[in-house]
Amino acid sequence: MLCESHSSKRLKIEHLIINFNVLQKVMKILLYTILLCYLRESWAAQVLLSPQLTNWGTWGEFEYCPEGSKVIAAQIKVELWSGGLIDDTCLNGIKLICGQVGGGVTRNITSKVGQFGSYKPTVHSCNGNGFMTGFMLRVEEEGGAIIDETATNNLRILCSGSPNGFIELEGERWGEWTNPRICDSHEYICGLQTQVQDGQGITVDDTSLNNIRVQCCDLSQEDLLFYGIKKEQNGVI
């Protein structure tokens, strides 16, 4: 009976060890799954912010392309330089055109737009099946109260298939170009938010558009296969 008792206890201990090992494996799988879901959410939620070399104005609402649509073109609203003592604002608005690659336009997104100037007639499109993946801004940094501040002057868009190239729009020439802000290789730009200073009146300097944020969205599995893209994170330059 004593031997049977020891044998029974030994079996129970072995069962406990086996169950504990199984539980450990299940917990590892569960934690890995949670981590993977978190990383996917982090990738999908990536927002790129322009370098804040100026910071006047308030942010508009984020506007988004319809699900599955990508930004395939851009157009800008510009107040042309007037020279002399005239208050200039230069870039007043950005219009991103959403569409299906190889298909038609689905929506235009602008967020907040300044009151000065007009849209340039040219719509600049990514080539072929390309879509917007990043941007650069030309910004005149804050120069002091006696200078006519213009803040952001122009926009360059970066498109898929052209990692070393960009399309420069027809804004003004003041300031320097920022470093590019680029989505990861498995993402595309799908949303826009702008920071715009409202009109300040006759006696106060106006700057209009100052900064932008863009939303990066994950390419679908079909898109990844079509473009031959592997998931990896580029980071922000």
d(CA 59, CA 73): 22
Across the chain, mean pLDDT equals 83
Main-chain phi, psi angles of 181, to 5 degrees: -110, 125
On the 0-12 / 13-18 / 19+ scale of CB atoms within 10 A, 227 is middle
Residue 98 DSSP label:
E
More confident residue, 137 or 206: 137
Residue 145, both tokens = 């109260």
Name the band, by pLDDT with cuts 50, 70 and 90, for residue 61: very high
Average pLDDT of span 210-237: 82
Is residue 115 over pLDDT 70?
yes
Average pLDDT of span 90-95: 95
More confident residue, 128 or 116: 116
Q: What is the pLDDT of residue 28?
A: 66
Q: Measuring CA to CA, which residue among 161, 158, 140 is closest to residue 208?
A: 140
pTM of the predicted model, to two decimals?
A: 0.76
Average pLDDT of span 89-114: 92
d(CA 189, CA 70): 6
pLDDT digits (tens, 9 = 90+) for 7-41: 676 666 666 666 666 667 666 676 645 544 444 44
The CA-atom distances, in angstroms, between 107 and each of 32, 98, 99, 110, 192 are 38, 5, 7, 10, 12
pLDDT digits (tens, 9 = 90+) for 153-180: 999 999 998 766 899 999 999 899 999 9
Are residues 181 and 50 in contact, defined by beta-carbon separation less than 8 angstroms?
yes
Are residues 134 and 180 in contact, defined by beta-carbon separation less than 8 angstroms?
yes
Q: What is the pLDDT of residue 104?
A: 86
Q: What is the pLDDT of residue 10?
A: 66
Is residue 43 over pLDDT 60?
no
Q: Report the C-alpha dihedral over residues 147, 197, 62, 230, rounded to 10 degrees.
A: 0
Residue 179 DSSP label:
P
More confident residue, 86 or 81: 81
Q: Measuring CA to CA, which residue among 90, 81, 200, 211 is closest to residue 145?
A: 200
Among 28-37, 82-91, 120-129, 141-150, the least confident range: 28-37
More confident residue, 3 or 211: 211
Is residue 233 over pLDDT 70?
no
Is residue 93 over pLDDT 80?
yes
Give CA angle at 123 (121, 51), nearest 5°: 110
User: Which residues on neighbouring strands pair with residue 52, listed in sequence order?
Assistant: none
How many C-beta atoms lie closer than 10 Å to residue 228's C-beta?
A: 6
Q: What is the pLDDT of residue 2?
A: 45
d(CA 20, CA 14): 10
Residue 210, both tokens = 């100052």
d(CA 192, CA 214): 5
User: What percent of the residues of the chain are helix, what percent strand, and what percent coil, each to the nearest 5?
Assistant: 20, 35, 45
Average pLDDT of span 48-77: 96
More confident residue, 86 or 43: 86
